[in-house]
Amino acid sequence: MDRIARFLQQRADQGLLRTLKPVDSRGAGKLHRGGRELIDFSSNDYLGLAHHPHLKFATQEAIEEWGVSSCASRLLSGDMKIHHTLEEKVASLSGKERALVFSSGYQANVGIISALVGRGDAVFSDKLNHASIVDGVGLSGAKCFRFRHNDLDHLETLLKKHSHEFKARLIVTETVFSMEGDLCPLERLVALKDEYRALLMVDEAHATGIYGPGGAGLVAGLGLTERVELIMGTFSKALGSFGAYVAGSAQIVDLLINTCRSFIYSTALPPAIAAANLAALEIVTREPERGRVLRENAAWFRAALIDHGHEVRGSSQIVPLVVGEAERAVAASSALAEQGFWVLPIRPPTVPAGESRLRFSLTYDHSRQQLSKLIENIDKALHVSVC
Ligand SMILES: Cc1ncc(COP(=O)(O)O)c(C=O)c1O
């Protein structure tokens, strides 16, 4: 207990102790906190679907029919027709033979990677990959080579030097990176993975619903579906719901059903959530303007910030504005909150020292008028925060 108390005290002394801060309510690009309404730039509900009446209705209907829980894991008695309907839909959208649904993106990545590779194999992983990928690689027992973020020359150097030492090689990357807001150079990546006879797994968590035909993701958008062995994505971000999927060959899906521990030893996705996921996929196909408007607004916002002299990264709906020191990011975030904008400061160790940033997560619900007002306030907040 002393050790725990000491650890917590140390964290608090360093200003790094994290605590939970519940919101009063959230939706339509806004959140309520402490009795105040704030425009929300911290949500992953990129397409504004979390409160969509079609998702709510589908969920309520499914609860009436099947109740709240799936009551068991898939391989026992928790397997329901709706899971299969959802998997068929995802497979067809992704252009792959089969798909498998998971209860969360974290579970998917941890389980898939540790099922695919093990001792004697190698994983080549982008340095900025999500913690769930890092943990999956750690659990697998495979040798891990981390390449500099989006630096395919570095990846090639590592492949050239080490790939022949291993039985199997897996390359893993996100397609849209959540802290940089940038895209993976997929065309060259697929060429490298072919040359070095590796498997390629991509995490489309921040791309599903926004990029590609029907929101299938960046891989489909670039016409590379055939060349990527595993396409993982989540229902928990742009699709406004919960859970995750992987799409691939029938063989890969059968392997996962038989060996992926986070799939086997966990209760199946609740049927009402599967219904919400199906409803979300339907809306994305029916209303492609949601993704288009979001992408256009993000490009407009990014260009306007650059015009105002700010250092902005990436090219997606996630817009990171680099401000330098952590204190400056925290002060700017507080100043923006005072003005009614909820924007998270991202600090080390999440990003390198000196690269603290404000991370704007844009959604379909944000209007150009709100974004213009935000830019005015960013200018003021950053001016105020350096004084
Ligand atoms: C790239 C990436 N992969 C996976 C996950 C995990 O997804 P989930 O929240 O559904 O567990 C996240 C969540 O932030 C993510 O950003």
69 noted as active-site residue: no
Query: Which among 171, 231, 182, 223 is positioned nearest to 202, based on CA atoms?
Result: 231
- Structure-token match 């989540």, residue found: 234
> To which H or E segment does residue 8 belong?
helix 2-13
Distance CA(356)–CA(380), nearest Å, equals: 18
Q: How does pLDDT run across 299-325, given as a tens digit for each residue?
A: 999 999 999 999 999 999 999 999 999
Mean pLDDT to the nearest integer, 271-288: 97
- Structure-token match 């389980």, residue found: 111
Mean pLDDT to the nearest integer, 286-294: 95
Q: How does pLDDT run across 84-114, given as a tens digit for each residue?
A: 999 999 999 999 999 999 999 999 999 999 9
290: which 2 tokens? 């949601």
State the distance from the centre of ligand 1 to the C-alpha of 51, rounded, in angstroms. Answer: 20
Distance CA(270)–CA(59), nearest Å, equals: 10
Q: Which residues line ligand 1 (CB under 6 A)?
A: 104-106, 109, 130, 132, 174, 178, 203, 205, 234, 236, 244
- For residue 225, the 8-state DSSP code is G
CA angle 109, 103, 168 (to 5 degrees): 25
385 band by pLDDT with thresholds 50, 70 and 90: very low
194 noted as active-site residue: no
β-bridge pairing 143-147 and 122-126: parallel
User: What's the confidence (pLDDT) of residue 1?
Assistant: 73
Ligand 1 atom index nearest CA of 234:
10
pLDDT above 70 (res 271): yes
State the distance from the centre of ligand 1 to the C-alpha of 1, rounded, in angstroms. Answer: 32
User: Closest residue (by CA) to atom 5 of ligand 1?
Assistant: 105
165 noted as active-site residue: no
- Structure-token match 């971000």, residue found: 237
User: What's the confidence (pLDDT) of residue 350?
Assistant: 85
Cis preceding-peptide flag for 349 (omega within 30 of 0): yes
pLDDT above 80 (res 384): no
Mean pLDDT to the nearest integer, 236-242: 98
Q: Which amino acid is at 83?
A: H
Percentage of residues of the chain with pLDDT beyond 90: 93
Torsion 367-238-55-212 (CA) sign: positive
21 band by pLDDT with thresholds 50, 70 and 90: confident
